[in-house]
């Protein structure tokens, strides 16, 4: 069997329906195999490798099934470094097949070889951004490499893996068999010991102000049902990190939303006043922990902490837990549910706590409501979030890009289901929203997919429009157009005496705000588009775009001078940070130190 055919058959046996990739001389061998198998596996060629990998990443987040990317040797593969970093930072799986130079030319500096320190050294370029890189240099090494790669990709904490294939290994033949597919995500689940569960439950029963903090681990382990039941049965409110959004339906009264500087006020209030935090599959990164400054989002170590995660490396990274549990999120929650059945506790103790939470929720709602109802031109940000919420069905997928728009959606979007709000969180790579939406739509062809992307983000990957047309992928792009890299401008204005430099888009001697006419740009690629400058027009335009069921772009002019209200803090030492606009630091003098 030819190496390229073996890879192709393995992908098909592994039920990988798509390869997102771009050609180069290095991978023409496997392109030919994919041509032969084109009825069973589809090649989608976007116009930039970054897009291919974002598509694969988003596809996985929607379906929890991985697909492959394919890039050629040298520059093509170098273009996927950023999206791989993004994927590994958010525990998203994809199989990155990269091509390399022929083994017989290793170390001779042939065209596109990187060999400064080691022959055909692409694996070292991407080493920190994949769980593992494999470089089979003979066809008879492919079966093991492929099986190990896909097993590594989906086991434990998922993430991207790389199989780097020299040119000749695609072409040569050997007497090899296609290896069996690896187990799917969550095939094996780790759990807590009975003693750990008993100890956790004792802490839970003792607490009067408990909160659950959920992260991507809950989403990845598909523990939404168990989380909901656990929260309901013990009446414990749930704070969510971005990729945990929707694991508990966010219109549930116990759902407090996101925490941190741009979190929701009730989440920060509950987080900083809790006496026990049960963190499940969450990692307390700086942006969901107010940069670890006590009193803004959390108050460890006065607050007790149970921290369960499938990855022992995350437990205690930032806050040493009272009980650390290496466990899959769903198994852990199921074990806690079984303990409820066993002990049948009466939970009167949290009544006052739940009442406090209701109060914070209503204060927050009173504060934010007027801006959700305001009509303006340029448009107030809250209005766009509100209209998206009104128009999109609960199963619609929002693929968020990076920037101010994301801050607003983090604060106010109510994800109704898990895997419906895709966020580039750990790495925040610009372009994920605009590009990932294509992969999300291929993963869920029957559901609306909306990319919310900044004018800056979109300008990094505008060719996504070509791909949408070529492959008829009906994504709606909402461009949050504020004529600049406004999230960074705002940091700059706040920290450096109100001076702006290099963060807004201008043209001409008078610094007129500049952007391309995005709608005209879209039409030039064959994508329908509307420019929306008045808030009254946005809702109808979005409805129309969704109904059209074809690629659609809305260029929405948003007020750049309205900032999301901070309810926590974010610090970039040594520059000073701002106190919250709504709510304040709470240091629990009354809480006994442990
Ligand atoms: C690839 C990449 N380059 C740079 C950054 C730094 N960065 C973060 S947000 C941002 C501005 C985003 O601009 P835009 O998409 O217009 O969103 P806005 O903040 O204006 O809403 C920049 C440059 C990044 N996160 N990723
Ligand atoms: Mg912008």
pLDDT digits (tens, 9 = 90+) for 27-54: 999 999 999 999 999 999 999 999 999 9
The token pair at 279 is 């963190």
Question: Which of the four pLDDT bands, split at 50, 70 and 90, describes residue 591?
Answer: low
Spatial distance between the Cα atoms of 290 and 261, rounded to a whole number of angstroms: 6
DSSP track, 7-39: HHHHHHHTT--EEEE---GGGHHHHHHHHHTTT
Report how far ligand 1's centroid is from the alpha carbon of 577 (Å): 20
Report how far ligand 2's centroid is from the alpha carbon of 483 (Å): 5
Mean pLDDT of 186-207: 97
SS3 325: strand
Burial pattern 223-251, b for ≥16 Cβ within 10 A else e, equals bbebbbbbbeebbbbbbbbbbbbbbbbbe
Atom of ligand 1 nearest to the CA of 482: 20
Which residues, in sequence order, are CB contacts of 74 under 8 Å at separation 6+? 24, 26, 111, 112, 113, 114, 122
Report how far ligand 1's centroid is from the alpha carbon of 427 (Å): 12
Decide: 89 in ligand 1 pocket, CB within 6 A: no
Q: Whose CA is nearest to atom 23 of ligand 1?
A: 485
Share of the chain above pLDDT 90, in %: 96
Atom of ligand 1 nearest to the CA of 406: 21
Q: Which residues pair with 68 in a beta bridge?
A: 19, 95
What's the pLDDT tens digit per position in 93-106? 999 999 999 999 99
Q: List Cα–Cα distances, 240 to 29, 49, 271, 299, in angstroms.
A: 45, 32, 11, 17
What's the pLDDT tens digit per position in 126-183? 999 999 999 999 999 999 999 999 999 999 999 999 999 999 999 999 999 999 999 9
- With beta carbons less than 8 A apart as the criterion, state whether 147 and 182 touch: yes
**Which ligand is nearest the CA of 487, by number?**
1
Spatial distance between the Cα atoms of 180 and 347, rounded to a whole number of angstroms: 49
Q: Is the pLDDT of residue 208 over 80?
A: yes
Atom of ligand 1 nearest to the CA of 403: 19
Atom of ligand 1 nearest to the CA of 457: 15
- With beta carbons less than 8 A apart as the criterion, state whether 258 and 364 touch: no
Question: Which of the four pLDDT bands, split at 50, 70 and 90, describes residue 590?
Answer: low
Locate tokens 């968020």: which residue?
Answer: 400
- Name the residue of 50, 84, 430, 482 whose CB sits within 8 Å of the most ligand 1 atoms, as the mutation to test its pocket: 430
Report how far ligand 2's centroid is from the alpha carbon of 83 (Å): 21
Q: Is the pLDDT of residue 281 over 70?
A: yes
Which residues, in sequence order, are CB contacts of 360 under 8 Å at separation 6+? 265, 266, 269, 270
- Region for residue 79 given its phi and psi (left: phi exceeds 0; alpha: psi -120 to 50; beta: otherwise): alpha
Q: What is the dihedral of CA 230, 416, 324, 328, to 10 degrees?
A: 90
Decide: 259 in ligand 1 pocket, CB within 6 A: no
- Predicted local distance difference test score (pLDDT) of residue 350: 86
Q: Whose CA is nearest to atom 21 of ligand 1?
A: 404
Spatial distance between the Cα atoms of 218 and 230, rounded to a whole number of angstroms: 13
Atom of ligand 1 nearest to the CA of 481: 16
For residue 221, cis peptide bond before it (omega within 30 degrees of 0):
no
Spatial distance between the Cα atoms of 288 and 297, rounded to a whole number of angstroms: 8
Decide: 263 in ligand 1 pocket, CB within 6 A: no
What's the pLDDT tens digit per position in 314-366? 999 999 999 999 999 999 999 999 999 999 988 777 889 999 999 999 999 99
- Name the residue of 378, 402, 434, 457 whose CB sits within 8 Å of the most ligand 1 atoms, as the mutation to test its pocket: 402
- Region for residue 555 given its phi and psi (left: phi exceeds 0; alpha: psi -120 to 50; beta: otherwise): beta
DSSP state of 65: -
Mean pLDDT of 376-389: 95
- With beta carbons less than 8 A apart as the criterion, state whether 455 and 482 touch: yes
Mean pLDDT of 298-303: 96
Decide: 119 in ligand 1 pocket, CB within 6 A: no
Q: Whose CA is nearest to atom 2 of ligand 1?
A: 430
Decide: 515 in ligand 1 pocket, CB within 6 A: no
Query: Quick one: which of 573, 38, 75, 27 has its CA closest to 293?
Result: 573
β-strand 132-134 against 161-166: which pairing, if any? Answer: parallel
Decide: 487 in ligand 1 pocket, CB within 6 A: yes
Decide: 457 in ligand 1 pocket, CB within 6 A: yes
The token pair at 389 is 């919420």
Mean pLDDT of 480-485: 98
Report how far ligand 2's centroid is from the alpha carbon of 480 (Å): 6
- Predicted local distance difference test score (pLDDT) of residue 373: 86
The token pair at 264 is 């929701």
Decide: 179 in ligand 1 pocket, CB within 6 A: no
Q: Is the pLDDT of residue 367 over 90?
A: yes
DSSP state of 492: H
Atom of ligand 1 nearest to the CA of 453: 15
Rounded to 5°, the CA angle 570-573-579 comes to 35
Query: Quick one: which of 202, 222, 241, 197 has its CA closest to 332?
Result: 197
Question: Which of the four pLDDT bands, split at 50, 70 and 90, describes residue 546?
Answer: very high
Report how far ligand 2's centroid is from the alpha carbon of 147 (Å): 43
SS3 399: strand
- Predicted local distance difference test score (pLDDT) of residue 592: 54
Decide: 405 in ligand 1 pocket, CB within 6 A: yes
Report how far ligand 1's centroid is from the alpha carbon of 482 (Å): 12
Report how far ligand 2's centroid is from the alpha carbon of 176 (Å): 52
Helices (H), 413-485: 432-443, 455-460, 464-470
Spatial distance between the Cα atoms of 263 and 363, rounded to a whole number of angstroms: 15
Which residues, in sequence order, are CB contacts of 27 under 8 Å at separation 6+? 21, 70, 71, 72, 73, 97, 99, 165, 170
Report how far ligand 2's centroid is from the alpha carbon of 139 (Å): 48
Atom of ligand 1 nearest to the CA of 558: 21
Q: Where are the beta strands (DSSP E) in 367-439?
A: 397-400, 421-423
Report how far ligand 1's centroid is from the alpha carbon of 105 (Å): 41
Q: Work out whether the CA dihedral 190, 194, 198, 203 comes out positive or negative.
A: negative
Burial pattern 532-557, b for ≥16 Cβ within 10 A else e, equals beebebbbebbeebbeeebbbbbbbb
Decide: 439 in ligand 1 pocket, CB within 6 A: no
Locate tokens 């994927």: which residue?
Answer: 87
Report how far ligand 2's centroid is from the alpha carbon of 225 (Å): 37
Q: How many residues in total does the chain contain?
A: 594
- With beta carbons less than 8 A apart as the criterion, state whether 525 and 501 touch: no
What's the pLDDT tens digit per position in 407-429? 999 999 999 999 999 999 999 99
- With beta carbons less than 8 A apart as the criterion, state whether 37 and 421 touch: no
- With beta carbons less than 8 A apart as the criterion, state whether 100 and 164 touch: yes
- Predicted local distance difference test score (pLDDT) of residue 346: 83
Which residues, in sequence order, are CB contacts of 209 under 8 Å at separation 6+? 270, 273, 274, 275, 276, 350, 353
Spatial distance between the Cα atoms of 366 and 424, rounded to a whole number of angstroms: 30
Report how far ligand 1's centroid is from the alpha carbon of 450 (Å): 19
* 3-state per-residue secondary structure call for 277-320: EEEECCCCCHHHCHHHCCCCCCCCCCCEEEEEECCHHHCCCCCC
Mean pLDDT of 301-313: 97
């Amino acid at each position: 069997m030819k190496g390229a055919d073996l890879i192709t058959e393995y992908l098909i046996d592994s039920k990988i329906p798509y390869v997102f990739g771009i050609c180069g001389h290095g991978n023409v061998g496997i392109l030919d195999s994919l041509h032969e198998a084109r009825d069973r596996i589809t090649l989608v060629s976007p116009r930039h490798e970054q897009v291919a990998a974002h598509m694969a990443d988003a596809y996985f987040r929607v379906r929890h099934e991985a697909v492959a990317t394919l890039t050629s040797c040298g520059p093509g593969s170098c273009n996927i470094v950023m999206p791989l970093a993004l994927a590994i930072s958010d525990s998203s799986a994809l199989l990155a097949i990269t091509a390399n130079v022929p083994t017989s030319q290793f170390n001779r500096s042939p065209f596109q070889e990187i060999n400064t320190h080691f022959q055909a050294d692409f694996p070292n370029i991407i080493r920190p951004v994949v769980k593992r890189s494999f470089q089979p240099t003979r066809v008879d090494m492919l079966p093991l490499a492929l099986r190990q790669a896909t097993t590594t990709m989906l086991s434990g904490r998922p993430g991207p893996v790389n199989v780097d294939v020299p040119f000749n290994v695609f072409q040569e033949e050997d007497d090899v068999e296609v290896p069996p597919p690896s187990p799917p995500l969550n095939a094996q689940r780790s759990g807590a010991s009975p003693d750990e569960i008993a100890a956790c439950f004792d802490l839970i029963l003792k607490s009067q102000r408990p909160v659950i903090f959920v992260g991507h681990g809950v989403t990845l382990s598909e523990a939404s049902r168990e989380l909901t039941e656990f929260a309901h049965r013990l009446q414990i409110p749930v704070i969510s990190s971005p990729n945990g959004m929707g694991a508990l339906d966010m219109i549930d009264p116990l759902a407090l939303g996101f925490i941190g500087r741009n979190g929701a006020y009730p989440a920060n209030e509950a987080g900083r006043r809790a006496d026990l935090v049960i963190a499940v599959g969450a990692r307390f990164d700086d942006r969901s922990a107010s940069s670890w400054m006590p009193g803004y989002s959390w108050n460890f170590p006065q607050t007790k902490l149970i921290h369960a995660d499938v990855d022992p490396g995350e437990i205690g990274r930032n806050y040493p837990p009272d009980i650390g549990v290496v466990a899959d999120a769903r198994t852990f929650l199921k074990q806690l549910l079984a303990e409820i059945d066993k002990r049948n506790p009466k939970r009167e103790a949290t009544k006052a706590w739940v009442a406090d939470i209701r109060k914070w929720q209503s204060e927050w709602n009173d504060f934010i409501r007027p801006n959700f109802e305001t009509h303006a031109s340029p448009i107030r940000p809250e209005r766009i979030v509100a209209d998206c919420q009104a128009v999109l069905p609960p199963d619609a997928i929002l693929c968020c890009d990076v920037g101010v728009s994301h801050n607003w959606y983090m604060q106010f979007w109510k994800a109704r289901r898990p895997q419906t709000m895709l966020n580039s969180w750990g790495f925040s790579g610009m372009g994920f929203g605009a590009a990932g939406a294509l992969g999300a739509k291929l993963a869920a062809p029957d559901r609306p997919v909306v990319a919310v992307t900044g004018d800056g983000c979109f300008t990094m990957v505008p060719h996504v429009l070509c791909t949408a047309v070529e492959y008829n992928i009906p994504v709606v792009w909402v461009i949050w157009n504020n004529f600049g890299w406004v999230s960074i401008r705002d940091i700059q204005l706040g920290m450096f005496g109100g001076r702006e430099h290099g963060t807004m888009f201008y043209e001409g001697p008078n610094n007129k705000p500049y952007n391309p006419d995005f709608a005209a740009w879209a039409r030039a690629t064959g994508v329908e588009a509307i420019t929306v400058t008045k808030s009254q027009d946005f809702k109808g335009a979005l409805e129309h775009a969704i109904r059209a069921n074809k690629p659609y772009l809305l260029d929405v002019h948003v007020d750049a001078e309205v900032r999301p209200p901070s309810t926590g803090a974010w610090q970039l030492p040594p520059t000073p940070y701002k106190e919250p606009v709504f709510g304040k630091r709470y240091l629990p003098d009354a809480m006994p130190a442990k």
